[in-house]
């Protein structure tokens, strides 16, 4: 049976789309024989069907990953790096195809998806460079012992990723895991499975050893099987706080596997009176409307100082109303379609909640067109704490706006939410910027910009926004175990 289908993306790229589960270096059928559809959110049309993984398929992937673990983990780090550099180059060569697939499958603009795909190649290249540098330390204790640490692979790692950045989230997890000598089982999001399968095909083409990378497509039952599996030693998850809690429970009830959780957010974007207004407006638009607002760290709470509140709000609404929303392959589109029908309807329900509870709708607040999951850029002002939209994560192009008087009030308001993934600060006063950044309970703080992630800078949250860090050097600790070794009686060498 063939698990490939010839497809042509909306911008005319003809390619071979794998549709099987990628286990032990091959595309195979699911144990149940079930499949599910992947749907374009821009047209609501079926793109293709892929295999539906269940717990039995997770078992098969674990068998393959376990079999590959010893050789990959004990491989000369330079050799691991060579494999990863080769993979990075192949991803770079095919970034336009990968971007077109993500845009088609996810609904994001092709221009944005190209940026994602280029970043994926850079991330694999970056962590290839870490493969031979994640070493331990020699520790001075006393004259009679030689003490050192080793950073050893965790083992088989499970990964469950969301649909908002299909390729990017894959790279954030698989790249550092590979560099540290681990094997991986990744479940792609059910709404956006296609680019992960093409990534698997690229792994196959460049000769990544069988079992090192395994890709499953499926729903929550496959994710639950990964979280509960006794032979998976670490789980990395990006998604909702509710699901993150369940994964923690699974770890506690099974083998106490290591976990990292990059969860939700309701991030504050603070604009002071002295900010560069034009820059702050463009930054605010990017903070909430890029990627259809489907960003964990989106600046979904705008905090405006009272001196510029009315002026800024008026200018922001005028700019938001000019944003082009529509066909992801239109180069002039600012954002595309919400990724799936469930999320589309969820965002609409939050908008109705805001209207019903008394927040002032400044602009937007409705569906755009009759086909595809498109929403107008939406801004609510005069938001109060008792409003549902004030504190719950909406995960769509909906901004809620608050007013503050001074620095102390801004920090208090920003920190009043249980999430703590990110924050933005806009001011021309460097001392104020540093003070506020240092007092915000958020894993990332961007000053006079927003969403400025970089693979060398750690990313993660406080509070309900998660546990652990992705990216940077910090992520390597998530994929290694530190072993301390002490050798006694070394003084005998001089006796």
Q: Which residues form the catalytic set?
A: 262
The position carrying tokens 């050799």 is: 79
User: Which tokens in the block code for residue 331?
Assistant: 């180069």
Measured CA distances, 339 to 39, 189, 257, 323 (Å)? 9, 11, 31, 19
The answer to whether 415 and 434 are in contact (CB under 8 A) is no
The position carrying tokens 């950044």 is: 437
**Paired strand residues for 422:** 444
CA geometry: angle at 236 spanning 182 and 296, to 5°?
Answer: 140
Give residues with Cβ within 8 angstroms of 381, minimum separation 6.
313, 359, 360, 362, 401
Using a 10 angstrom Cβ sphere, with 0-12 exposed, 13-18 middle and 19 or more buried, the burial of residue 188 is buried
The H-or-E segment that residue 114 falls in is helix 110-130
Please spell the DSSP secondary structure of 65-76, one letter per residue.
HHHHHHHHHHS-
The answer to whether 95 and 102 are in contact (CB under 8 A) is no
Q: Is 423 helix (H, G, I), strand (E, B) or coil?
A: strand
């Amino acid at each position: 049976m063939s698990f490939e289908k010839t497809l042509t993306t909306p911008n005319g790229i003809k390619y071979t789309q794998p549709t099987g589960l990628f286990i032990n270096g091959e595309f195979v059928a699911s144990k149940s024989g079930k499949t599910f559809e992947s749907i374009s959110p821009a047209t609501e049309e079926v793109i293709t069907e892929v295999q539906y993984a269940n717990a039995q398929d997770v078992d098969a992937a674990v068998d393959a990953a376990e079999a590959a673990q010893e050789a990959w983990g004990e491989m000369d780090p330079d050799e691991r790096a060579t494999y990863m550099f080769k993979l990075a180059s192949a991803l770079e060569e095919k970034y336009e195809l990968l971007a077109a697939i993500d845009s088609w499958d996810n609904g994001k603009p092709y221009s944005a998806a190209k940026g994602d795909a280029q970043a994926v190649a850079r991330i694999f290249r970056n962590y290839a460079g870490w493969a031979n540098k994640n070493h331990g330390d020699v520790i001075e204790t006393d004259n009679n012992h030689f003490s050192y640490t080793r950073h050893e692979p965790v083992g088989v790692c499970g990964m469950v990723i969301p649909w908002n950045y299909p390729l990017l989230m894959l790279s954030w997890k698989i790249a550092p895991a590979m560099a540290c000598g681990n094997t991986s089982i990744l479940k792609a999001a059910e709404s956006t499975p296609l680019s992960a399968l093409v990534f698997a095909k690229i792994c196959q083409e460049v000769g990544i050893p069988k079992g090192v990378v395994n890709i499953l497509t499926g729903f929550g039952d496959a994710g639950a099987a990964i979280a509960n599996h006794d032979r998976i030693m670490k789980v990395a998850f990006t998604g909702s706080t509710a699901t993150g809690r369940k994964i923690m429970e699974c770890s506690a009830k099974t083998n106490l596997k290591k976990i990292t959780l990059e969860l939700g957010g309701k991030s504050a974007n603070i604009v002071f009176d002295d900010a560069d207004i034009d820059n702050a407006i463009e930054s605010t638009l990017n903070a909430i409307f890029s990627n259809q607002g489907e960003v964990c760290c989106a600046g979904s709470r705008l905090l405006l100082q009272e001196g510029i509140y009315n002026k800024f709000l008026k200018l922001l609404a005028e700019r938001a109303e000019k944003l082009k929303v529509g066909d992801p392959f239109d180069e002039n589109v600012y954002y595309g379609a919400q990724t799936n029908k469930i999320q589309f309807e969820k965002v609409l329900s939050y908008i109705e909640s805001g209207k019903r509870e008394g927040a002032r709708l400044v602009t937007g607040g409705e569906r755009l067109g009759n086909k595809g999951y498109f929403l107008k850029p939406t801004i609510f002002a005069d938001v109060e704490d008792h409003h549902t939209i004030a504190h719950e994560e909406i995960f769509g192009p909906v901004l809620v706006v608050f007013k503050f008087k001074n620095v102390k009030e801004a920090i208090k308001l920003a920190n009043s939410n249980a999430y703590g993934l990110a924050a933005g600060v806009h001011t021309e006063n460097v001392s104020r910027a540093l003070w506020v950044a240092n007092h915000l309970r958020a894993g990332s703080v961007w000053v006079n910009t927003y969403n400025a992630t970089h693979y060398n800078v750690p990313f993660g949250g406080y509070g309900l926004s998660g546990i652990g860090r992705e990216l940077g050097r910090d992520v390597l600790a998530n994929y290694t175990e530190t072993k301390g070794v002490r050798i006694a009686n070394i003084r005998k060498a001089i006796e």
